[in-house]
Amino acid sequence: MIARDRVMEKQSHEACSMQVEKDGYAIVPNVFTPEEVQSLALTLESSNLPRSRAGIRHLLSNTAIAQVANDSRLLGIAQSILGDDAFPFKATLFDKSPDTNWLITWHQDTALPLCEKQEIPGWGPWSTKEGITYAHAPATALEKIVALRLHLDDSTNENGPLRIVPSTHRRGVLNDEEVEAIVSNATPLACLVPKGGIIAVRPLTIHASSKSQSDISRRVIHIEYAMRNAVPTPLHLALA
């Protein structure tokens, strides 16, 4: 039975990796059990981590979140996409509810946390968020990264789900006008992920989310993974 489960898991990871390569995203349901999700949600609710309107930044320093990020189920998915040296470097809680509601316009995720500022061609502009240095990165780095979004609630059409434009991860880093032009001629997809499931997303996939129209919360732990050689020397990814 164990051997059969491992074969099925490997096949699931391979299918996920193939879809991410093709479409820039893939949904994997039922990765964590309802009991595990509930326990994780309670841990976050009882933490003293500073919150913003949208959630909590820089969660990888939290022991429970670090354990989730390195859980063999998530790590296995990330490694099937990026290779065996993939590791988590950043985690964020997005907590959308009737009380903390917002929208995100169409964009790509291009900023990476770094240990220190170094003037490298193609990197920047630079900024600081809660004591962590960030730089907008070139496509050569962002192509070596994937985000796994673990859902603590069901994502529905009504509670502000992630929306994406499939297969846009191969377009490189785009400016606002290029993003707008692509979206205006595309058919966006709402990513409806059940509680305990994940969606794997490439950072250059054009995405957005609307305001929630529901009383149901949409809490997501967004964990980013990278290849060991994702950023060039002398830059180093910061754990955030």
pLDDT digit string (tens) for 66-83? 999 999 999 999 999 999
Residue 179 lies in a domain: yes
State yes or no: pLDDT of 215 exceeds 70.
yes
Question: Which amino acid type is present at position 87?
Answer: F
The share of the chain scoring above pLDDT 70, in percent, equals: 96
Angle at the Cα of 25 from the Cα atoms of 22 and 28, rounded to 5 degrees: 115
For residue 95, the model assigns a pLDDT of: 92
Residue 135 lies in a domain: yes
Query: What mean pLDDT comes out for the span 19-36?
Result: 97
For residue 3, the model assigns a pLDDT of: 55
Torsion, CA 75, CA 78, CA 82, CA 88, rounded to 10: -60
- Tokens for 82? 């990026």
State yes or no: pLDDT of 92 exceeds 60.
yes
Phi, psi angle pair for 137, to nearest 5°: -105, 155
pLDDT digits 0-9 by tens, 120-158: 999 999 999 999 999 999 999 999 999 999 999 999 999
Whether the model pTM is above 0.85: yes
Residue 45 lies in a domain: yes
Query: Measured between alpha carbons, how far is 62 from 60 in angstroms, rounded to an integer?
Result: 5
Residue 175 lies in a domain: yes
Query: What mean pLDDT comes out for the span 43-54?
Result: 83
Q: What is the CATH number of the domain that holds 57?
A: 2.60.120.620
Average per-residue pLDDT for the chain: 93
Query: Measured between alpha carbons, how far is 61 from 87 in angstroms, rounded to an integer?
Result: 14
Residue 233 lies in a domain: no
Query: Measured between alpha carbons, how far is 193 from 160 in angstroms, rounded to an integer?
Result: 12
Q: How many residues does the chain have?
A: 240
State yes or no: pLDDT of 6 exceeds 90.
no
Q: Which residues in 33-60 are b (16+ Cβ under 10 Å) and which e?
A: eeeebeebbeebeeeeeeeeeebbbbbb
Instruction: Give residue 130's domain range.
Output: 2-226
Residue 42 lies in a domain: yes
Residue 239 lies in a domain: no
Number of domains in the chain: 1
Residue 237 lies in a domain: no
Could you tell me which residues are beta bridge partners of residue 221? 93, 150
